[in-house]
Structure 1
Protein backbone atom coordinates (compact mmCIF):
# COMPACT_ATOMS: atom_id res chain seq x y z
CA UNK A 1 0.00 0.00 0.00
CA UNK A 2 1.34 3.47 -0.88
CA UNK A 3 2.20 6.11 1.72
CA UNK A 4 -0.79 8.17 0.50
CA UNK A 5 -3.12 5.19 1.01
CA UNK A 6 -1.62 4.54 4.45
CA UNK A 7 -2.31 8.17 5.44
CA UNK A 8 -5.87 8.01 4.12
CA UNK A 9 -6.63 4.74 5.90
CA UNK A 10 -5.29 6.12 9.20
CA UNK A 11 -7.89 8.90 9.10
CA UNK A 12 -10.85 6.56 8.58
CA UNK A 13 -12.64 4.28 11.07
CA UNK A 14 -11.67 0.61 11.35
CA UNK A 15 -12.94 -1.91 8.82
CA UNK A 16 -16.17 -2.83 10.66
CA UNK A 17 -17.09 0.79 11.31
CA UNK A 18 -16.10 1.71 7.75
CA UNK A 19 -18.60 -0.80 6.39
CA UNK A 20 -21.29 0.83 8.53
CA UNK A 21 -20.22 4.30 7.35
CA UNK A 22 -20.62 3.23 3.73
CA UNK A 23 -23.91 1.39 4.09
CA UNK A 24 -25.34 4.13 6.30
CA UNK A 25 -24.71 6.86 3.74
CA UNK A 26 -26.11 4.87 0.83
CA UNK A 27 -29.24 3.94 2.82
CA UNK A 28 -29.73 7.59 3.85
CA UNK A 29 -29.43 8.75 0.24
CA UNK A 30 -31.69 6.08 -1.21
CA UNK A 31 -34.38 6.75 1.40
CA UNK A 32 -34.71 10.43 0.47
CA UNK A 33 -32.79 12.86 -1.72
CA UNK A 34 -33.32 15.90 -3.88
CA UNK A 35 -34.94 15.02 -7.19
CA UNK A 36 -33.04 16.21 -10.25
CA UNK A 37 -33.95 14.83 -13.69
CA UNK A 38 -30.36 14.01 -14.59
CA UNK A 39 -30.25 11.68 -11.58
CA UNK A 40 -32.97 9.61 -13.25
CA UNK A 41 -30.95 8.80 -16.37
CA UNK A 42 -27.72 7.07 -17.33
CA UNK A 43 -27.59 8.74 -20.76
CA UNK A 44 -24.03 10.13 -20.95
CA UNK A 45 -25.07 12.97 -23.28
CA UNK A 46 -27.80 14.19 -20.93
CA UNK A 47 -25.44 13.88 -17.96
CA UNK A 48 -22.64 15.74 -19.72
CA UNK A 49 -25.04 18.60 -20.51
CA UNK A 50 -26.14 18.74 -16.86
CA UNK A 51 -22.56 18.75 -15.58
CA UNK A 52 -21.45 21.53 -17.93
CA UNK A 53 -24.53 23.61 -17.08
CA UNK A 54 -24.07 23.11 -13.34
CA UNK A 55 -20.61 24.66 -13.23
CA UNK A 56 -21.04 27.82 -11.12
CA UNK A 57 -24.77 27.96 -11.91
CA UNK A 58 -27.54 27.42 -9.36
CA UNK A 59 -29.23 24.06 -9.84
CA UNK A 60 -32.69 25.65 -9.78
CA UNK A 61 -31.85 27.50 -13.01
CA UNK A 62 -30.25 24.43 -14.53
CA UNK A 63 -33.36 22.23 -14.30
CA UNK A 64 -35.48 24.17 -16.80
CA UNK A 65 -32.51 25.06 -19.03
CA UNK A 66 -31.44 21.40 -19.18
CA UNK A 67 -34.92 20.30 -20.25
CA UNK A 68 -35.14 23.05 -22.88
CA UNK A 69 -31.68 22.20 -24.21
CA UNK A 70 -32.50 18.52 -24.61
CA UNK A 71 -35.84 19.35 -26.24
CA UNK A 72 -33.98 21.41 -28.81
CA UNK A 73 -30.97 19.11 -29.27
CA UNK A 74 -32.05 15.68 -27.96
CA UNK A 75 -28.96 13.75 -29.08
CA UNK A 76 -25.25 14.35 -29.36
CA UNK A 77 -25.65 14.14 -33.14
CA UNK A 78 -28.29 16.89 -33.11
CA UNK A 79 -26.02 19.14 -31.06
CA UNK A 80 -23.02 18.50 -33.31
CA UNK A 81 -25.14 19.45 -36.36
CA UNK A 82 -26.36 22.71 -34.77
CA UNK A 83 -24.72 26.06 -35.66
CA UNK A 84 -22.43 27.04 -32.82
CA UNK A 85 -23.95 30.52 -32.66
CA UNK A 86 -27.38 29.07 -31.86
CA UNK A 87 -25.94 27.01 -29.00
CA UNK A 88 -24.09 30.00 -27.56
CA UNK A 89 -27.18 32.19 -27.92
CA UNK A 90 -29.26 29.58 -26.04
CA UNK A 91 -26.66 29.52 -23.26
CA UNK A 92 -26.75 33.25 -22.82
CA UNK A 93 -30.56 33.54 -23.02
CA UNK A 94 -30.86 31.00 -20.17
CA UNK A 95 -28.33 32.85 -17.95
CA UNK A 96 -25.98 29.87 -17.77
CA UNK A 97 -22.81 31.87 -17.19
CA UNK A 98 -19.60 31.66 -19.16
CA UNK A 99 -20.47 31.26 -22.85
CA UNK A 100 -17.22 29.41 -23.50
CA UNK A 101 -18.87 26.40 -21.88
CA UNK A 102 -21.47 26.33 -24.67
CA UNK A 103 -18.71 26.52 -27.27
CA UNK A 104 -16.78 23.66 -25.66
CA UNK A 105 -19.91 21.53 -25.26
CA UNK A 106 -20.64 21.95 -28.97
CA UNK A 107 -17.05 21.04 -29.84
CA UNK A 108 -17.17 17.99 -27.55
CA UNK A 109 -20.34 16.81 -29.31
CA UNK A 110 -18.59 17.19 -32.65
CA UNK A 111 -15.65 15.13 -31.36
CA UNK A 112 -17.94 12.34 -30.17
CA UNK A 113 -19.65 12.16 -33.55
CA UNK A 114 -16.54 12.45 -35.74
CA UNK A 115 -13.88 10.72 -33.63
CA UNK A 116 -15.94 8.18 -31.64
CA UNK A 117 -18.71 7.39 -34.17
CA UNK A 118 -21.28 8.79 -31.74
CA UNK A 119 -20.33 6.43 -28.88
CA UNK A 120 -19.28 8.14 -25.66
CA UNK A 121 -15.92 7.24 -24.11
CA UNK A 122 -16.59 5.55 -20.76
CA UNK A 123 -13.65 6.18 -18.43
CA UNK A 124 -12.50 9.41 -16.76
CA UNK A 125 -9.21 9.40 -18.69
CA UNK A 126 -10.97 8.92 -22.04
CA UNK A 127 -13.62 11.51 -21.29
CA UNK A 128 -10.93 14.11 -20.55
CA UNK A 129 -9.98 13.93 -24.23
CA UNK A 130 -13.21 15.81 -25.00
CA UNK A 131 -12.99 19.58 -25.44
CA UNK A 132 -13.70 21.49 -22.25
CA UNK A 133 -14.04 18.36 -20.11
CA UNK A 134 -11.73 18.52 -17.10
CA UNK A 135 -11.00 15.88 -14.45
CA UNK A 136 -14.05 16.64 -12.30
CA UNK A 137 -16.57 16.61 -15.16
CA UNK A 138 -14.99 13.53 -16.74
CA UNK A 139 -15.20 11.68 -13.45
CA UNK A 140 -18.80 12.75 -12.87
CA UNK A 141 -19.93 11.56 -16.32
CA UNK A 142 -18.04 8.28 -15.91
CA UNK A 143 -19.66 7.79 -12.49
CA UNK A 144 -23.24 8.70 -13.26
CA UNK A 145 -23.47 7.33 -16.80
CA UNK A 146 -21.23 4.26 -16.67
CA UNK A 147 -20.52 3.60 -12.96
CA UNK A 148 -16.81 3.60 -13.83
CA UNK A 149 -15.70 6.74 -12.00
CA UNK A 150 -13.37 7.50 -9.15
CA UNK A 151 -14.45 9.29 -5.99
CA UNK A 152 -15.69 12.80 -6.71
CA UNK A 153 -13.99 15.52 -4.67
CA UNK A 154 -15.74 18.88 -4.86
CA UNK A 155 -16.14 21.67 -2.31
CA UNK A 156 -19.04 19.92 -0.57
CA UNK A 157 -17.16 16.62 -0.34
CA UNK A 158 -14.09 18.35 1.10
CA UNK A 159 -16.25 19.97 3.76
CA UNK A 160 -17.75 16.60 4.69
CA UNK A 161 -14.40 14.84 4.92
CA UNK A 162 -12.77 17.71 6.82
CA UNK A 163 -15.48 17.67 9.46
CA UNK A 164 -16.31 13.98 9.66
CA UNK A 165 -12.82 12.49 9.68
CA UNK A 166 -10.65 15.48 10.60
CA UNK A 167 -8.96 15.36 7.19
CA UNK A 168 -6.35 18.13 6.79
CA UNK A 169 -6.97 20.81 4.19
CA UNK A 170 -4.78 19.24 1.53
CA UNK A 171 -6.07 18.22 -1.92
CA UNK A 172 -3.91 15.11 -2.14
CA UNK A 173 -5.11 13.88 1.25
CA UNK A 174 -8.75 14.68 0.38
CA UNK A 175 -8.45 12.61 -2.79
CA UNK A 176 -6.80 9.72 -0.98
CA UNK A 177 -9.45 9.60 1.75
CA UNK A 178 -12.29 9.93 -0.78
CA UNK A 179 -10.89 7.04 -2.83
CA UNK A 180 -10.45 4.81 0.23
CA UNK A 181 -13.93 5.64 1.47
CA UNK A 182 -15.83 4.87 -1.76
CA UNK A 183 -16.99 1.24 -2.11
CA UNK A 184 -15.45 -0.40 -5.18
CA UNK A 185 -17.74 -0.43 -8.21
CA UNK A 186 -20.34 1.90 -6.66
CA UNK A 187 -19.28 5.29 -8.00
CA UNK A 188 -22.75 6.14 -9.34
CA UNK A 189 -24.67 5.91 -6.07
CA UNK A 190 -21.72 6.81 -3.80
CA UNK A 191 -20.77 10.07 -5.50
CA UNK A 192 -24.40 11.16 -5.64
CA UNK A 193 -24.80 10.29 -1.96
CA UNK A 194 -21.73 12.03 -0.57
CA UNK A 195 -22.42 15.19 -2.60
CA UNK A 196 -26.00 15.11 -1.31
CA UNK A 197 -24.69 14.86 2.23
CA UNK A 198 -22.59 17.98 1.71
CA UNK A 199 -25.46 19.77 -0.01
CA UNK A 200 -28.27 19.22 2.48
CA UNK A 201 -26.76 18.13 5.83
CA UNK A 202 -23.14 19.23 6.05
CA UNK A 203 -23.62 22.71 4.60
CA UNK A 204 -21.59 25.72 5.70
CA UNK A 205 -24.12 25.92 8.53
CA UNK A 206 -24.58 22.22 9.35
CA UNK A 207 -28.00 20.60 9.79
CA UNK A 208 -26.79 17.35 11.34
CA UNK A 209 -29.88 16.41 13.34
CA UNK A 210 -32.48 18.11 11.15
CA UNK A 211 -31.21 16.31 8.05
CA UNK A 212 -30.63 13.05 9.88
CA UNK A 213 -26.94 12.89 8.96
CA UNK A 214 -26.01 9.19 8.91
CA UNK A 215 -22.43 9.88 10.01
CA UNK A 216 -23.09 11.55 13.35
CA UNK A 217 -21.85 8.49 15.24
CA UNK A 218 -18.39 8.76 13.67
CA UNK A 219 -18.17 12.49 12.94
CA UNK A 220 -15.30 14.39 14.58
CA UNK A 221 -17.08 17.75 14.23
CA UNK A 222 -20.33 16.41 15.71
CA UNK A 223 -18.41 15.03 18.68
CA UNK A 224 -16.34 18.16 19.35
CA UNK A 225 -18.78 20.85 18.24
CA UNK A 226 -16.10 22.37 16.00
CA UNK A 227 -17.73 22.80 12.57
CA UNK A 228 -15.03 24.87 10.94
CA UNK A 229 -14.20 23.92 7.34
CA UNK A 230 -11.85 24.98 4.54
CA UNK A 231 -12.52 28.42 3.16
CA UNK A 232 -14.76 28.45 0.10
CA UNK A 233 -13.77 30.94 -2.66
CA UNK A 234 -16.34 33.69 -3.10
CA UNK A 235 -17.88 33.93 -6.56
CA UNK A 236 -17.42 37.49 -7.94
CA UNK A 237 -20.63 39.48 -8.19
CA UNK A 238 -22.35 38.83 -11.51
CA UNK A 239 -24.39 42.05 -11.59
CA UNK A 240 -22.48 44.69 -13.55
CA UNK A 241 -19.58 42.31 -14.26
CA UNK A 242 -17.78 41.79 -17.53
CA UNK A 243 -19.29 38.29 -17.61
CA UNK A 244 -22.76 39.80 -17.53
CA UNK A 245 -22.09 42.12 -20.46
CA UNK A 246 -20.42 39.36 -22.48
CA UNK A 247 -23.65 37.43 -22.03
CA UNK A 248 -25.72 40.43 -23.09
CA UNK A 249 -23.69 40.79 -26.29
CA UNK A 250 -24.31 37.15 -27.18
CA UNK A 251 -27.99 37.36 -26.29
CA UNK A 252 -28.48 40.57 -28.31
CA UNK A 253 -26.65 39.24 -31.36
CA UNK A 254 -28.87 36.16 -31.18
CA UNK A 255 -31.76 38.45 -32.13
CA UNK A 256 -30.06 40.01 -35.17
CA UNK A 257 -28.11 38.81 -38.17
CA UNK A 258 -25.49 41.45 -37.34
CA UNK A 259 -25.15 44.82 -35.63
CA UNK A 260 -22.69 47.71 -35.88
CA UNK A 261 -21.03 48.62 -32.61
CA UNK A 262 -22.88 51.94 -32.54
CA UNK A 263 -26.18 50.07 -32.26
CA UNK A 264 -24.94 47.16 -30.19
CA UNK A 265 -23.62 49.31 -27.34
CA UNK A 266 -26.90 51.00 -26.34
CA UNK A 267 -28.70 47.66 -26.54
CA UNK A 268 -26.52 46.03 -23.90
CA UNK A 269 -26.30 48.86 -21.38
CA UNK A 270 -28.41 51.96 -20.80
CA UNK A 271 -25.39 54.01 -19.68
CA UNK A 272 -23.33 53.26 -22.81
CA UNK A 273 -20.72 55.98 -23.31
CA UNK A 274 -17.69 57.50 -21.62
CA UNK A 275 -15.65 54.90 -19.76
CA UNK A 276 -18.13 52.25 -20.89
CA UNK A 277 -18.35 53.47 -24.48
CA UNK A 278 -16.76 52.52 -27.78
CA UNK A 279 -13.32 51.52 -26.45
CA UNK A 280 -14.86 49.40 -23.70
CA UNK A 281 -17.21 47.68 -26.16
CA UNK A 282 -14.40 47.01 -28.65
CA UNK A 283 -12.45 45.27 -25.89
CA UNK A 284 -15.48 43.17 -24.96
CA UNK A 285 -16.10 42.17 -28.57
CA UNK A 286 -12.40 41.48 -29.11
CA UNK A 287 -12.39 39.05 -26.20
CA UNK A 288 -15.46 37.27 -27.57
CA UNK A 289 -13.87 37.06 -31.02
CA UNK A 290 -10.68 35.60 -29.52
CA UNK A 291 -12.85 32.97 -27.84
CA UNK A 292 -14.45 32.10 -31.18
CA UNK A 293 -17.90 33.30 -30.15
CA UNK A 294 -18.39 36.30 -32.48
CA UNK A 295 -17.12 37.50 -35.86
CA UNK A 296 -16.16 41.09 -36.72
CA UNK A 297 -15.86 42.81 -40.10
CA UNK A 298 -15.20 46.38 -41.10
CA UNK A 299 -17.85 48.15 -43.17
CA UNK A 300 -17.03 51.72 -44.27
CA UNK A 301 -16.13 53.46 -41.01
CA UNK A 302 -18.03 51.03 -38.76
CA UNK A 303 -17.25 47.66 -37.16
CA UNK A 304 -20.06 45.14 -37.62
CA UNK A 305 -20.46 42.12 -35.32
CA UNK A 306 -22.33 38.85 -35.62
CA UNK A 307 -22.38 35.49 -33.84
CA UNK A 308 -19.76 32.98 -34.97
CA UNK A 309 -21.37 30.70 -37.53
Structure 2
Protein backbone atom coordinates (compact mmCIF):
# COMPACT_ATOMS: atom_id res chain seq x y z
CA UNK A 1 0.00 0.00 0.00
CA UNK A 2 2.97 2.33 -0.50
CA UNK A 3 1.36 3.82 -3.62
CA UNK A 4 -0.56 6.11 -1.24
CA UNK A 5 2.67 7.78 -0.13
CA UNK A 6 4.12 10.92 -1.73
CA UNK A 7 6.80 10.47 -4.38
CA UNK A 8 9.25 12.74 -2.58
CA UNK A 9 9.59 10.66 0.57
CA UNK A 10 12.92 12.20 1.52
CA UNK A 11 11.23 15.60 1.81
CA UNK A 12 8.46 14.06 3.94
CA UNK A 13 11.04 12.48 6.25
CA UNK A 14 13.19 15.58 6.56
CA UNK A 15 10.19 17.80 7.32
CA UNK A 16 8.96 15.57 10.15
CA UNK A 17 12.37 15.09 11.78
CA UNK A 18 13.16 18.81 11.59
CA UNK A 19 9.77 19.63 13.17
CA UNK A 20 10.35 17.14 15.99
CA UNK A 21 13.92 18.20 16.70
CA UNK A 22 12.94 21.88 16.81
CA UNK A 23 10.40 21.36 19.59
CA UNK A 24 8.81 18.36 21.29
CA UNK A 25 7.40 17.31 24.63
CA UNK A 26 10.12 16.52 27.16
CA UNK A 27 9.31 13.20 28.77
CA UNK A 28 12.00 11.68 31.03
CA UNK A 29 12.11 8.45 29.03
CA UNK A 30 13.04 10.48 25.96
CA UNK A 31 16.20 11.61 27.72
CA UNK A 32 17.65 8.12 28.14
CA UNK A 33 18.73 5.19 26.03
CA UNK A 34 18.73 2.81 29.01
CA UNK A 35 16.70 -0.22 27.92
CA UNK A 36 15.42 -0.92 31.44
CA UNK A 37 14.06 2.59 31.90
CA UNK A 38 12.50 2.57 28.46
CA UNK A 39 10.85 -0.80 29.13
CA UNK A 40 9.41 0.57 32.38
CA UNK A 41 8.00 3.60 30.57
CA UNK A 42 6.52 1.50 27.76
CA UNK A 43 4.77 -0.91 30.12
CA UNK A 44 3.46 1.94 32.27
CA UNK A 45 2.17 3.85 29.24
CA UNK A 46 -0.15 1.09 28.08
CA UNK A 47 -3.62 2.64 28.29
CA UNK A 48 -2.51 5.05 31.02
CA UNK A 49 -2.44 8.84 30.76
CA UNK A 50 1.10 10.15 30.34
CA UNK A 51 0.62 12.75 33.07
CA UNK A 52 0.04 9.92 35.55
CA UNK A 53 2.87 7.86 34.09
CA UNK A 54 5.47 10.60 34.65
CA UNK A 55 4.97 10.66 38.43
CA UNK A 56 4.80 6.89 38.73
CA UNK A 57 7.87 6.47 36.49
CA UNK A 58 9.97 8.72 38.74
CA UNK A 59 8.77 6.97 41.91
CA UNK A 60 9.36 3.52 40.41
CA UNK A 61 12.94 4.32 39.41
CA UNK A 62 13.66 5.91 42.78
CA UNK A 63 12.70 2.60 44.34
CA UNK A 64 14.20 0.24 41.75
CA UNK A 65 16.76 2.27 39.75
CA UNK A 66 18.30 -0.64 37.84
CA UNK A 67 17.09 -3.90 36.37
CA UNK A 68 18.97 -5.83 39.07
CA UNK A 69 17.10 -3.92 41.78
CA UNK A 70 13.74 -4.84 40.29
CA UNK A 71 14.74 -8.46 39.80
CA UNK A 72 15.67 -8.80 43.48
CA UNK A 73 12.47 -7.12 44.72
CA UNK A 74 9.53 -9.05 46.14
CA UNK A 75 6.83 -9.42 43.50
CA UNK A 76 4.15 -8.39 45.96
CA UNK A 77 5.91 -5.05 46.52
CA UNK A 78 5.99 -4.37 42.79
CA UNK A 79 2.32 -5.29 42.36
CA UNK A 80 1.34 -3.11 45.32
CA UNK A 81 3.24 -0.18 43.81
CA UNK A 82 1.49 -0.71 40.48
CA UNK A 83 -1.93 -0.85 42.02
CA UNK A 84 -1.23 2.09 44.32
CA UNK A 85 -0.33 4.27 41.33
CA UNK A 86 -3.40 3.19 39.30
CA UNK A 87 -1.28 1.90 36.42
CA UNK A 88 -3.82 -0.53 35.02
CA UNK A 89 -3.76 -4.31 35.01
CA UNK A 90 -1.57 -5.70 37.78
CA UNK A 91 -0.39 -8.45 35.44
CA UNK A 92 1.85 -5.84 33.86
CA UNK A 93 3.71 -5.42 37.14
CA UNK A 94 4.09 -9.16 37.47
CA UNK A 95 5.42 -9.54 33.93
CA UNK A 96 7.77 -6.57 34.28
CA UNK A 97 9.24 -8.13 37.41
CA UNK A 98 9.63 -11.48 35.64
CA UNK A 99 11.23 -9.80 32.60
CA UNK A 100 13.77 -8.11 34.88
CA UNK A 101 14.55 -11.47 36.44
CA UNK A 102 15.09 -12.95 32.97
CA UNK A 103 17.48 -10.16 31.98
CA UNK A 104 19.55 -10.72 35.12
CA UNK A 105 19.53 -14.51 35.12
CA UNK A 106 19.52 -15.32 31.40
CA UNK A 107 21.28 -12.32 29.84
CA UNK A 108 23.78 -11.39 32.58
CA UNK A 109 21.97 -8.12 33.20
CA UNK A 110 22.24 -6.89 29.59
CA UNK A 111 19.09 -6.44 27.52
CA UNK A 112 18.84 -8.08 24.09
CA UNK A 113 19.05 -5.49 21.32
CA UNK A 114 16.95 -7.17 18.65
CA UNK A 115 13.12 -6.87 18.60
CA UNK A 116 12.65 -10.61 18.04
CA UNK A 117 14.87 -11.52 20.98
CA UNK A 118 13.29 -8.88 23.20
CA UNK A 119 10.00 -10.70 22.71
CA UNK A 120 11.47 -13.60 24.67
CA UNK A 121 11.07 -11.47 27.79
CA UNK A 122 7.91 -12.10 29.81
CA UNK A 123 5.02 -9.84 28.82
CA UNK A 124 6.95 -8.14 26.01
CA UNK A 125 4.94 -8.28 22.80
CA UNK A 126 5.88 -7.10 19.31
CA UNK A 127 5.00 -3.44 19.90
CA UNK A 128 6.89 -3.11 23.19
CA UNK A 129 9.87 -5.07 21.88
CA UNK A 130 10.10 -2.80 18.86
CA UNK A 131 9.80 0.32 21.00
CA UNK A 132 12.62 -0.79 23.30
CA UNK A 133 14.81 -1.76 20.33
CA UNK A 134 14.10 1.62 18.71
CA UNK A 135 14.52 3.95 21.66
CA UNK A 136 17.31 2.12 23.48
CA UNK A 137 19.36 0.73 20.59
CA UNK A 138 18.14 2.59 17.45
CA UNK A 139 17.56 -0.90 16.10
CA UNK A 140 13.81 -1.15 15.59
CA UNK A 141 11.21 -1.20 12.87
CA UNK A 142 8.58 1.46 12.30
CA UNK A 143 6.21 1.73 15.26
CA UNK A 144 2.52 1.46 14.40
CA UNK A 145 0.24 2.63 17.20
CA UNK A 146 -3.09 4.44 17.25
CA UNK A 147 -1.42 7.81 16.69
CA UNK A 148 0.59 6.57 13.73
CA UNK A 149 -2.45 4.95 12.11
CA UNK A 150 -4.41 8.18 12.43
CA UNK A 151 -1.60 10.23 10.87
CA UNK A 152 -1.06 7.86 7.94
CA UNK A 153 -4.78 7.55 7.25
CA UNK A 154 -5.40 11.29 7.28
CA UNK A 155 -2.23 12.47 5.60
CA UNK A 156 -1.82 9.90 2.86
CA UNK A 157 -5.10 7.99 2.69
CA UNK A 158 -3.61 4.70 3.86
CA UNK A 159 -6.54 2.25 4.20
CA UNK A 160 -7.77 1.29 7.65
CA UNK A 161 -5.99 -2.06 7.56
CA UNK A 162 -3.20 -3.24 9.88
CA UNK A 163 -1.09 -4.71 7.09
CA UNK A 164 -1.42 -1.53 5.02
CA UNK A 165 -0.43 0.64 7.97
CA UNK A 166 2.62 -1.53 8.74
CA UNK A 167 3.76 -1.47 5.11
CA UNK A 168 3.35 2.29 4.77
CA UNK A 169 5.05 3.03 8.10
CA UNK A 170 8.04 0.87 7.19
CA UNK A 171 8.34 2.46 3.76
CA UNK A 172 8.43 5.94 5.28
CA UNK A 173 10.93 5.32 8.09
CA UNK A 174 14.51 6.23 7.11
CA UNK A 175 16.84 3.26 7.43
CA UNK A 176 18.75 3.08 10.69
CA UNK A 177 16.90 5.98 12.31
CA UNK A 178 14.17 4.25 14.26
CA UNK A 179 14.81 6.23 17.47
CA UNK A 180 14.20 9.72 16.11
CA UNK A 181 11.64 8.63 13.52
CA UNK A 182 9.35 6.70 15.83
CA UNK A 183 9.49 9.45 18.44
CA UNK A 184 8.73 12.04 15.77
CA UNK A 185 5.76 10.35 14.11
CA UNK A 186 4.15 9.49 17.47
CA UNK A 187 4.69 13.11 18.55
CA UNK A 188 2.96 14.26 15.39
CA UNK A 189 -0.05 12.09 16.21
CA UNK A 190 -0.08 13.16 19.84
CA UNK A 191 0.42 16.90 19.37
CA UNK A 192 -0.75 17.96 15.90
CA UNK A 193 -2.97 15.16 14.60
CA UNK A 194 -5.00 14.11 17.61
CA UNK A 195 -8.70 13.29 17.52
CA UNK A 196 -9.21 17.06 17.24
CA UNK A 197 -6.48 18.15 14.78
CA UNK A 198 -4.32 21.23 15.46
CA UNK A 199 -2.65 21.46 12.06
CA UNK A 200 -1.81 25.16 11.93
CA UNK A 201 -1.52 25.72 15.66
CA UNK A 202 1.04 22.92 16.02
CA UNK A 203 2.77 23.76 12.75
CA UNK A 204 2.20 20.29 11.29
CA UNK A 205 5.12 19.63 8.92
CA UNK A 206 3.02 17.47 6.59
CA UNK A 207 0.36 20.03 5.66
CA UNK A 208 1.64 20.39 2.10
CA UNK A 209 1.10 16.65 1.47
CA UNK A 210 -1.88 15.98 3.76
CA UNK A 211 -5.14 14.92 2.13
CA UNK A 212 -7.17 15.71 5.23
CA UNK A 213 -5.72 19.24 5.41
CA UNK A 214 -6.55 19.77 1.75
CA UNK A 215 -10.09 18.36 1.83
CA UNK A 216 -11.15 19.14 5.40
CA UNK A 217 -12.10 15.49 5.94
CA UNK A 218 -10.36 14.47 9.17
CA UNK A 219 -12.00 11.09 9.46
CA UNK A 220 -9.78 8.71 11.43
CA UNK A 221 -9.65 4.92 11.83
CA UNK A 222 -12.02 3.53 14.40
CA UNK A 223 -10.40 3.26 17.83
CA UNK A 224 -12.00 0.97 20.42
CA UNK A 225 -13.11 2.94 23.45
CA UNK A 226 -11.35 2.16 26.70
CA UNK A 227 -13.92 0.66 29.10
CA UNK A 228 -14.73 2.84 32.09
CA UNK A 229 -12.36 2.13 34.96
CA UNK A 230 -14.73 3.33 37.68
CA UNK A 231 -16.69 0.38 39.03
CA UNK A 232 -14.97 -2.07 36.71
CA UNK A 233 -13.69 -5.52 37.57
CA UNK A 234 -10.20 -4.17 36.92
CA UNK A 235 -10.69 -1.49 39.57
CA UNK A 236 -11.81 -4.02 42.18
CA UNK A 237 -8.90 -6.33 41.36
CA UNK A 238 -6.61 -3.39 42.13
CA UNK A 239 -8.43 -2.75 45.40
CA UNK A 240 -7.93 -6.37 46.42
CA UNK A 241 -4.19 -6.14 45.79
CA UNK A 242 -3.90 -2.86 47.71
CA UNK A 243 -5.84 -4.23 50.67
CA UNK A 244 -3.67 -7.34 50.81
CA UNK A 245 -0.57 -5.18 50.53
CA UNK A 246 -1.52 -3.61 53.88
CA UNK A 247 -2.15 -6.93 55.65
CA UNK A 248 -0.25 -10.18 55.85
CA UNK A 249 -3.40 -12.19 55.27
CA UNK A 250 -7.18 -11.73 55.17
CA UNK A 251 -10.23 -13.96 54.93
CA UNK A 252 -12.80 -13.30 52.23
CA UNK A 253 -15.17 -11.68 54.71
CA UNK A 254 -12.36 -9.51 56.14
CA UNK A 255 -11.35 -8.49 52.64
CA UNK A 256 -14.84 -7.76 51.30
CA UNK A 257 -15.67 -4.58 53.27
CA UNK A 258 -12.23 -3.19 52.48
CA UNK A 259 -12.98 -3.10 48.75
CA UNK A 260 -16.76 -2.49 48.73
CA UNK A 261 -18.79 -0.61 51.29
CA UNK A 262 -21.83 -2.62 50.18
CA UNK A 263 -20.13 -6.00 50.58
CA UNK A 264 -22.55 -8.72 51.70
CA UNK A 265 -21.53 -12.38 52.04
CA UNK A 266 -24.92 -13.67 50.91
CA UNK A 267 -26.21 -13.99 47.38
CA UNK A 268 -24.33 -14.39 44.12
CA UNK A 269 -24.37 -10.90 42.58
CA UNK A 270 -21.81 -8.11 42.68
CA UNK A 271 -20.62 -7.42 46.19
CA UNK A 272 -21.29 -10.97 47.38
CA UNK A 273 -18.83 -13.53 48.72
CA UNK A 274 -19.22 -15.52 45.49
CA UNK A 275 -18.36 -12.46 43.42
CA UNK A 276 -15.34 -11.69 45.59
CA UNK A 277 -14.12 -15.27 45.39
CA UNK A 278 -14.20 -14.96 41.60
CA UNK A 279 -11.96 -11.88 41.76
CA UNK A 280 -9.58 -13.65 44.12
CA UNK A 281 -9.46 -16.78 41.97
CA UNK A 282 -8.64 -14.68 38.90
CA UNK A 283 -5.74 -13.07 40.77
CA UNK A 284 -4.57 -16.49 41.93
CA UNK A 285 -4.66 -17.77 38.34
CA UNK A 286 -2.49 -14.80 37.39
CA UNK A 287 -0.01 -15.73 40.09
CA UNK A 288 -0.60 -12.59 42.15
CA UNK A 289 -2.23 -14.04 45.29
CA UNK A 290 -2.28 -17.29 47.23
CA UNK A 291 -5.55 -18.81 48.45
CA UNK A 292 -5.79 -21.46 51.16
CA UNK A 293 -8.32 -22.77 53.67
CA UNK A 294 -7.46 -22.59 57.37
CA UNK A 295 -8.26 -25.25 59.98
CA UNK A 296 -11.69 -23.74 60.49
CA UNK A 297 -12.53 -23.91 56.79
CA UNK A 298 -12.29 -20.14 56.16
CA UNK A 299 -10.70 -19.01 52.91
CA UNK A 300 -7.56 -16.97 53.54
CA UNK A 301 -5.80 -14.83 50.94
CA UNK A 302 -2.38 -13.25 50.82
CA UNK A 303 -0.17 -11.65 48.18
CA UNK A 304 2.21 -14.06 46.56
CA UNK A 305 5.82 -13.16 47.33
TM-score tier after normalising by the smaller chain length: over 0.9
- 2: CA distance, partners of 1:301 / 1:265: 17
CA shift, 1:301, in A, is 2.6
Q: Name the Cα RMSD after superposition.
A: 0.7
Q: How does 1:48-67 map to 2 (within 5 A)?
A: 48-67=39-58
Q: Could you say which residue in structure 2 is the equivalent of 1:298?
A: 293
Report the TM-score, using the length of structure 2 for normalisation. 0.97
After superposition, the C-alpha distances for 1:44-66 in whole angstroms (9 at most, x for unaligned) are 00000000000011111100101
- 2: CA distance, partners of 1:283 / 1:71: 35
Q: Could you say which residue in structure 2 is the equivalent of 1:11?
A: 4
Query: Secondary structure of the equivalent of 1:221?
Result: helix
Q: Could you say which residue in structure 2 is the equivalent of 1:3?
A: none
- 2: CA distance, partners of 1:221 / 1:123: 36
Report the TM-score, using the length of structure 1 for normalisation. 0.96
- 2: CA distance, partners of 1:123 / 1:24: 28
Q: Could you say which residue in structure 1 is the equivalent of 2:284?
A: 289
Q: How does 1:121-132 map to 2 (within 5 A)?
A: 121-132=112-123
- 2: CA distance, partners of 1:255 / 1:216: 54
**Displacement over 2 Å in runs of 4+:** none
**Which of residues 125, 139, 149 is equivalent to 1:148?**
139
- 2: CA distance, partners of 1:129 / 1:42: 20
Q: Could you say which residue in structure 2 is the equivalent of 1:198?
A: 189
- 2: CA distance, partners of 1:69 / 1:205: 33
Specify every segment of 5 or more residues in structure 1 that has no aligned partner in the other structure, as ranges. Answer: 1-6
- 2: CA distance, partners of 1:18 / 1:151: 15
After superposition, the C-alpha distances for 1:206-239 in whole angstroms (9 at most, x for unaligned) are 1101110000000011111111011110000000
Query: Secondary structure of the equivalent of 1:185?
Result: coil
Q: Could you say which residue in structure 1 is the equivalent of 2:208?
A: 217
Q: How does 1:91-110 map to 2 (within 5 A)?
A: 91-110=82-101
Q: How does 1:136-285 map to 2 (within 5 A)?
A: 136-273=127-264, 274=267, 275=269, 276-285=271-280
Query: Secondary structure of the equivalent of 1:296?
Result: strand
More divergent stretch after superposition (255-264 vs 136-145):
255-264
- 1: CA distance, partners of 2:87 / 2:215: 40
After superposition, the C-alpha distances for 1:18-37 in whole angstroms (9 at most, x for unaligned) are 11111110111111111100
After superposition, the C-alpha distances for 1:34-87 in whole angstroms (9 at most, x for unaligned) are 110000000000000000000011111100101111111111111111111111
- 2: CA distance, partners of 1:64 / 1:196: 20
- 2: CA distance, partners of 1:211 / 1:267: 47
Specify every segment of 5 or more residues in structure 2 that has no aligned partner in the other structure, as ranges. Answer: none
